[in-house]
Amino acid sequence: AGRDPVLFSDLSRARNLLSRLVSPPAGSPFAWSDGLLVRAMEAGHWLLLTRCHTCPGSVLDRLNPLLERREGRTLALGEAGEDRVVTAHPDFRLVLSMDRCDGGGEVSRAMRNRCVEVCFLPPDPAESRLDRAPDGTLTAVGAGVPE
């Protein structure tokens, strides 16, 4: 309640989504830190992942368990050299977006079956337009726009 969403602006650069290499403590060759997804899961944030169609399928497939409609959504991690299971906070939400005009690949059927797809068609310039009112606000004008 009252949590701010977390934004990951570009899923085509997904290498830090699960975990990331950080400056090691003294005497250690490397150290791992939880990535954006893991931190959002544990804190109960909403996470927006944009351009999901450009992300490698192997990364997207790891997100499928988080899109299930059930209690106890989990993510198995092994990147830090030890097996770990992260359970999503009940308030955690995952939102994916894609732009088919942007190029990139397709999202797997398994992922699409777990999502709700909303498609926005480009506006028909002959039917509507945006006008700037004297106060600077934008106003939609045209067919299908309530007066």
| Domain ranges for the chain | 6-122
Once rounded to an integer, what is the mean pLDDT over residues 14-18?
60
Which CATH superfamily, name and number, covers 6-122?
P-loop containing nucleotide triphosphate hydrolases (3.40.50.300)
Rounded to 5°, the CA angle 80-28-74 comes to: 15
Instruction: Note whether 21 and 8 are within 8 A (CB).
Output: no
Q: Looking at residue 129, what is its pLDDT?
A: 64
Once rounded to an integer, what is the mean pLDDT over residues 116-123?
77
Question: Looking at the DSSP assignment, which residues form a beta bridge with residue 21?
Answer: 32
Once rounded to an integer, what is the mean pLDDT over residues 16-30?
63
CA 47 – CA 39 distance, rounded (Å): 10
CA 62 – CA 114 distance, rounded (Å): 13
CA 124 – CA 106 distance, rounded (Å): 26
User: For the segment 54-66, what is each residue's pLDDT rounded down to a tens digit?
Assistant: 877 888 888 888 8
pTM: 0.66
Q: By percentage, how much of the chain surpasses pLDDT 70?
A: 62
According to DSSP, residue 60 is labeled H
Report, in angstroms and rounded to the nearest whole number, the Rg of the chain calculated over CA atoms.
20
